[in-house]
Structure 1
Amino acid sequence: MTEPKTPKSPPWLKRLGNRIRQVRRIRGLTQTDVARPNLTKSFISLLESGRTYPSVGTLVALADRLQTSLALLLLETPNLPRETTLTLLTLARVMAESAPAEAERLLAAGEVLSAHADDLRADLMLTRADITQAQGKVREAERQYEDTLAWARKHKLGAYEPRALSRLAYVARQRGDDAAARQQLEAALEAFRTTRTLRSVEGCEAMLAYGEMLSGQGRAARAARVLEEVAQVARRQDLPLILGKAQIGIARVRLGAGQTAQAREALHAARAALESGPDTPENAQVLRAAGVLLFQTGSPAEAHSILQQALRLQERSGEVRTRAGVLNDLARVLLHQGKAADALAHAKMALELAGSQHNPAQKAAILVTMAHIARQQRRWKQATDLLKDALEIFRKAKMTAEVGETARELGMLLKERGEHAEAADYLAMAISTERPDKSGRR
């Protein structure tokens, strides 16, 4: 009777084992060295001879111990340009804020490697446009997104078309062109459906934007249904950041409808989702939004707690760009709680950060908070001067809504102090900023 033959190892497993052995020897390590602390020498021996299958976690650990990369262990030479390009693009996104020059060099390297791959070139174009947009260069980013859309259509890259369209919609909203934003966003959603990518992360982001747009048009019920659909997708796919954003959107809709209890419930769900998410700047921003909304629902203690959580997350992730905003939000909450000294300390830290980042709009918002603190402390002249400084910054930045709100507040303060002539000027300025609704709501 013949003994059953041992099944042959697949070629890829033998190549993997051979590469592990080669790298180990180059590093001057024994099998025992590589096995420590949680593997055995016999397992490494079996792996190097292609006679056992490693788990993903084991491969990651081995690549780290051998000071090599998973790509070099697993992939063949023809696969390396794609792998390297995608890694370069991801790294460029990570470094875009802290080291923009280095990020651009990474993109240039990716451009060389993606020269003969249409889809990789589309990825590179999207990445470059996203970085440009994050740097506040809205017009340039819009042109780059248009180039990406044209490239995707020319080369029939269906999955990239809705991604470019959704970003163009976002840029249009930044420019205040709601009509163009709506048209592009609806086209993006249709393209997401056509390519069956609506339930992807970017498809969910587009639906979130659509829900926000519907809410802004007064279509609260429809907005809530869209946001609930996104929340369901996020739960099924374990997407904590998307779930947090969806719950924030639902909370805004509920709060706008006067349903404070339901809004608070959605905010609690958002916080629970975000606590299981990664330590990223975007996660911190969504936590911040939850904190601000909790404050608006009349829950200052909860708002303070979640804003502190957002601040700690920013510190862990190294995010400084939006830290001034969180500090300013905390100052407002502390002032509401009657802790004027603590509020002023937070506002001063926020003002210093905003100044170092050359962010005039953020600086103006902080000056308004400091004016509120001065007013509570009955320092009337200081409060007036701070509001005037903030108003001037808002005017230069052409922030019409903020100009109107600040002018109205300044006018009322001056009126209370008996300075009626000057108060009338500022109240007239506030009235002049009010424009009839041109959104075409129905």
Structure 2
Amino acid sequence: MTDRAAPDPEPEPGPDPAPSPTSSPSPSPSPDPELGERVRRLRRERGLTQRQVAEPNYTAGYISTLEAGKVRPSEAALRHIAAKLGVGLDELATGRSARLVGEVRLRATDARRELATGDAHQARALFEAVRADAVRLDLPDEEAAALLGLGDCALETGDLQRAIELFRSCEEVLAEAPLHHRVPALRGRATAHLLAGDLRYACYLLETAIDRLNASGLPDPEALVLLYTAVIAPYMDMGAHTRAAQAANLALSLVPRIEDPALVARMHRGVARTLIAEGRTEEAADHLVRAQEMYRRLQIRTELAHCHWMRGYVHAQVGELDRAETELRTAHTILVERRAELFATQVGVELGDVLRRRGRAEEAAELLTGLLERLGPEHGAVHAGGAHRLLGLLAEDRGDDTGAERSYRHALDLLRPAGAAGDMADLCRLLGDLLHRTGRTEEAITVYRSGLTRYAATGATTLGPAPQEPPV
């Protein structure tokens, strides 16, 4: 198939054709074959000859040399050629048009919406396409946005190692950007480590970022709120409740400067968790209602499920077990529909506790045993420990002391590497009581002492100094 417009004859092989002394730029020592191919393609698409593109300022031979990739034009030459071809200077120089960039950004928004309201697997395919186009067009910000979305998809589907890799890649793409641009990816990586059971490292990542942001003198409030709310969960799991409350209060103090409603909703969820630990369930419920309304308005289904999950926990804390079961089953249904397997499994552990307390022991045991097939040391270690703890309580209820001890020790083996100090202290109490009741007093004393001195003592979380507060 031939061009519609006949191009000027290509020069014979030999020395590069030189532009005229008065009208053509000097050849550059850094030719750009991709630019030359772009000029050739655009010229042919428009049915122009090399002479028509060149005149009146340049020669047809110069355009031929440029299209052959043997010369890099000056900015003046680029402007002339872009005007002749009817494209913007940036599109000609880089291959990126404002239209193409806009389309990539729009598709990234669509992918983010699919992740929030639809299916993480479908969102992953959309983010992959966005990433491919961003790499092809050399759009680092859009590539980073796609990597962040892919990391969030991996978190939702429970592929924690993949999530860590994607978030780290996002941070690498943004390595030259200010720290607050990298905070969402860093928060995602810390969350993946938390879910995998590496609580201390999750704290380290988040605390280090908080200190670096605050030390900059002009920290980004949204980045700080994202970090403060993210660090609440590992603090709580490690038994550092005072630090969790401090982080929640600092996040609350920054809310007037936050415009993102999803971030405000996440903050309310984090604050609610600290209030539950303090026994302030009515205040916690109020924060959860606010978060739930925001998530419902924004149609962010997974976060909405988390609100139902926490409300179920609040009801369980005050003995409203029927309402707790309803909320937890609602959360579980949403998460199963979204194929958020790890989160659904974690909710199942909470539901198992409610079923046990409602006297449905066989149903609870069957549920928890099935969940442990999907949980483990590097995949939901804290909740796996919680499931073994509940199975131990169920074994004690039916008089199976051997089975109860086995379950408690399994739980300790899972929680010890994770650093979940509060849960370990409780397990030491349960195991100590069991050993004492069965006449193994010396063993019981050792277990009690371990729980009191290693896990329940103030400052026993092995954390360093608390992060500094943001400057006024």
TM range (shorter): 0.5 to 0.7
CA contact (8 A) 2:160 2:193 kept: no
CA contact (8 A) 1:168 1:184 kept: no
* Post-superposition CA distance 1:173-219 (Å, at most 9, x none): 8662546633412544788966xx746xx665345347779995737
Q: For residues 210 and 408 of structure 1, do their structure 2 counterparts lie closer, same or farther at Cα, with a shift above 3 Å needed? A: closer
Q: Which of 420, 435, 443 is the matching residue for 1:414?
A: 435
Quote the offset at 1:326 in angstroms. Answer: 0.9
- Secondary structure of the corresponding residue to residue 372 of structure 2: helix
- 2:335 — aligned with what? 314
- 1:37 — aligned with what? none
- Asked if residue 218 in structure 1 is aligned to residue 242 in structure 2, the reply is yes
Q: d(CA) in 2 for partners of 1:257 and 1:359? A: 25
- 1:79 — aligned with what? 99
Q: For residues 384 and 139 of structure 1, do their structure 2 counterparts lie closer, same or farther at Cα, with a shift above 3 Å needed? A: same
Q: Where in structure 2 are the equivalents of 1:229-378 lying within 5 Å?
A: 239=261, 241-278=262-299, 280-354=301-375, 361-378=382-399
**In the alignment, residue 218 of structure 1 is paired with which amino acid?**
T
Q: d(CA) in 1 for partners of 2:142 and 2:216? A: 20
- Asked if residue 150 in structure 1 is aligned to residue 150 in structure 2, the reply is no
* Post-superposition CA distance 1:3-56 (Å, at most 9, x none): xxxxxxxxxxxxxxxxxxxxxxxxxxxxxxxxxxxxxxxxxxxxxxxxxxxxxx
Q: d(CA) in 1 for partners of 2:103 and 2:126? A: 17
Q: For residues 169 and 348 of structure 1, do their structure 2 counterparts lie closer, same or farther at Cα, with a shift above 3 Å needed? A: closer
Quote the offset at 1:324 in angstroms. Answer: 1.5
- Structure 2-normalised TM-score? 0.58
Q: Tell me which moved more, 326-335 or 101-110.
A: 101-110
CA contact (8 A) 2:199 2:418 kept: no
* Post-superposition CA distance 1:137-177 (Å, at most 9, x none): 38746753542442325xxxx97355456567768986625
Q: For residues 321 and 259 of structure 1, do their structure 2 counterparts lie closer, same or farther at Cα, with a shift above 3 Å needed? A: closer
CA contact (8 A) 1:145 1:167 kept: no
Q: For residues 189 and 98 of structure 1, do their structure 2 counterparts lie closer, same or farther at Cα, with a shift above 3 Å needed? A: farther
**In the alignment, residue 412 of structure 2 is paired with which amino acid?**
L
Root-mean-square deviation (CA, aligned residues, Å) is 4.6
Q: d(CA) in 2 for partners of 1:159 and 1:273? A: 24
% of aligned pairs identical?
18
Quote the offset at 1:332 in angstroms. Answer: 0.7
- Asked if residue 119 in structure 1 is aligned to residue 141 in structure 2, the reply is yes
Q: d(CA) in 1 for partners of 2:441 and 2:235? A: 41
CA contact (8 A) 1:285 1:310 kept: yes
Quote the offset at 1:330 in angstroms. Answer: 1.0
- 1:381 — aligned with what? 402
Highest CA radius of gyration, 1 or 2? 2
Which runs of no fewer than 5 residues in structure 2 stay unpaired?
A: 1-95
CA contact (8 A) 2:312 2:323 kept: yes
Q: For residues 253 and 146 of structure 1, do their structure 2 counterparts lie closer, same or farther at Cα, with a shift above 3 Å needed? A: same
**In the alignment, residue 123 of structure 1 is paired with which amino acid?**
A
Q: d(CA) in 2 for partners of 1:255 and 1:106? A: 42
**In the alignment, residue 176 of structure 2 is paired with which amino acid?**
W
CA contact (8 A) 1:254 1:262 kept: yes
Quote the offset at 1:314 in angstroms. Answer: 1.4
Quote the offset at 1:323 in angstroms. Answer: 1.2
Q: Tell me which moved more, 370-379 or 386-395.
A: 386-395
Residue correspondences, number: 354
Which runs of no fewer than 5 residues in structure 1 stay unpaired?
A: 1-75
- 1:181 — aligned with what? 206
Q: For residues 164 and 257 of structure 1, do their structure 2 counterparts lie closer, same or farther at Cα, with a shift above 3 Å needed? A: same
- 1:109 — aligned with what? 132
CA contact (8 A) 1:82 1:113 kept: no
Q: d(CA) in 2 for partners of 1:192 and 1:311? A: 43
Q: d(CA) in 1 for partners of 2:241 and 2:405? A: 35
- Secondary structure of the corresponding residue to residue 176 of structure 2: helix
- Secondary structure of the corresponding residue to residue 322 of structure 1: helix
Q: d(CA) in 2 for partners of 1:193 and 1:325? A: 38
Q: For residues 305 and 85 of structure 1, do their structure 2 counterparts lie closer, same or farther at Cα, with a shift above 3 Å needed? A: same
**In the alignment, residue 242 of structure 2 is paired with which amino acid?**
G
Q: For residues 118 and 346 of structure 1, do their structure 2 counterparts lie closer, same or farther at Cα, with a shift above 3 Å needed? A: closer
Q: For residues 126 and 139 of structure 1, do their structure 2 counterparts lie closer, same or farther at Cα, with a shift above 3 Å needed? A: closer
Q: d(CA) in 2 for partners of 1:182 and 1:422? A: 38
Q: For residues 269 and 302 of structure 1, do their structure 2 counterparts lie closer, same or farther at Cα, with a shift above 3 Å needed? A: farther
CA contact (8 A) 1:327 1:347 kept: yes
**In the alignment, residue 145 of structure 2 is paired with which amino acid?**
D
CA contact (8 A) 1:110 1:124 kept: no
Structure with the higher helix share, 1 or 2 = 1
- Structure 1-normalised TM-score? 0.62
Q: d(CA) in 2 for partners of 1:345 and 1:292? A: 21
